[in-house]
Amino acid sequence: MRILFALPHCPIPVDSGSKQLTMQAIEALAGRHEVGFVVLRGPDRTERIDDLAQFGTLSVVDAPHRRSLVHRAGYRAAYVLSSLVTGRPLHSFYGCPANFWRTVQNVTGRWEPDLIHYDFWYSAVRDGGGLQCRRLLLEQDVEFVRLFREAELQSSFRRWRLERAAGIVRKAEGSVLRRMDCVLTVTPADARAAKEAGARRVAVFPVGVDTESRTPPASEPGGQGILFVGGFVHRPNVDGILWFARSVFPRILRVHPGATLTIVGGGPPESVRELGRSNGQIRVTGWVDDVTPFYHSARVVVAPLRFGSGIKTKVLEAMAFGRPVVTTTIGVEGIEISPGENILVQDSPDGFAEAVSLLLGHPEQARALGLAGRAVVERFYSKKAARQRILEIYEKDCWAPGSVSEGQSS
């Protein structure tokens, strides 16, 4: 079988949960099938697009709006006007410019794939169904769900704006979902949302973690270090760490004055960088080549997410490293866990601070919680099991009539 990946972002380096999911699919399928890529080159200089050539044929598209400042201004004006006329969200024009779609069409006509894999709904907005192959969409999260959840945290005018934006995205995203032959989500809740938005066939994409390279430290680290890991292109990460630093961390310091907070992740905005400048016990690293030393030196890992959608791979990664994790109800959505036994879940500032303080003050309990979390990842989220399920979806499920098999869809 031939599979063409139409990617609006390069998934290498794998420094985010969404990239991890894409690479899971690529690595699983490249071992048994022919794969090809059409990739939209982004502004991130850390992108390693050429690395994809080891898996299959590669076509790289330069976004037209990135050629110069004049092009950026001109295309932004054109995209804003098109957004007003069509009702499509502005970012969908950036995620699927005309030359990207033309390249997908040309490669499809020349290479004749059996299946096109789209990443993120906006990469498929121009696909009206004329291509002679099956179309599959990987929704790392359902965007309109995430936006509606974010709106619930706001008040008055900002809530109205976000709800309006979520409604616009739901209409555009739903239109794409309805046109796809198969839609993949990473949680049953997102699968239900995709179905309600009109998707004809939905499967739950399995998340796998490399437990061979991600291992617990030999012994519990000293100090009272707290760690957050997450890319800041993703708005829930910005909101979450600002909430934690401003509303939770001061409560922890009352109990543990020596506690420190390390924030790791690419693209931190000024509001996050300011946390490190205004508090000597907070360190903001930006992007790092290897997160292992940070996990191995952390006493507690936090994932203080207040809104979002999909599985939070940062939580699974921390559990794979055997680190005790404190997160929120949103943070554990779709994950097979038992709060109190292998992870701590709190949604209020007081509750979150108490959970982190408990683990900082009881290293043996923290170690036991972390190793219990590691056992969950080994049992339910191994790369081997995920790979087998991915192959079943791409080779069988997305070709079968009707909905996908029981237990894997809404």
Q: Over pLDDT 70: what percentage of the chain?
A: 97
Q: Please report which residue ranges of 197-286 form alpha helices under DSSP H.
A: 235-243, 249-255, 270-278
**328-360: pLDDT as tens digits:** 999 998 898 899 999 999 999 999 999 999 999
Higher pLDDT, 120 or 405: 120
Strand, helix or coil at 99?
helix
**255-312: pLDDT as tens digits:** 999 999 999 998 899 999 999 999 999 999 998 989 999 999 999 999 999 998 888 8
What is the reported pLDDT for 403?
Answer: 47
**166-197: pLDDT as tens digits:** 999 999 999 999 999 999 999 999 999 999 99
**131-144: pLDDT as tens digits:** 889 999 999 889 99
Confidence label for 401 from pLDDT (cuts 50, 70 and 90): low
Q: Over pLDDT 90: what percentage of the chain?
A: 71
Asked whether the bond before 268 is cis by omega within 30 degrees of 0, the reply is no
**63-106: pLDDT as tens digits:** 888 777 888 788 888 888 888 888 888 888 888 999 999 999 99
Ordered by start, the domain boundaries in the chain are 2-208+383-399, 225-380
CB atoms within 10 A of CB 362: 13
What is the reported pLDDT for 156?
Answer: 85
53, HSE (Cβ side, Cα atoms, 13 Å): 7
> Mean pLDDT, to the nearest integer, of 230-237?
90
Whole-prediction pTM: 0.84
**357-384: pLDDT as tens digits:** 999 999 999 999 999 999 999 999 988 8
* Domain pair 2-208+383-399 / 225-380, same fold: yes
Name the packing angle between helices 188-196 and 143-152 (round to 10°).
Answer: 100
Structure tokens at 201: 């066939």
CATH fold label, 225-380: Rossmann fold (3.40.50)
CATH number of 2-208+383-399: 3.40.50.2000
408, HSE (Cβ side, Cα atoms, 13 Å): 20
Q: Please report which residue ranges of 298-362 form alpha helices under DSSP H.
A: 313-320, 349-361
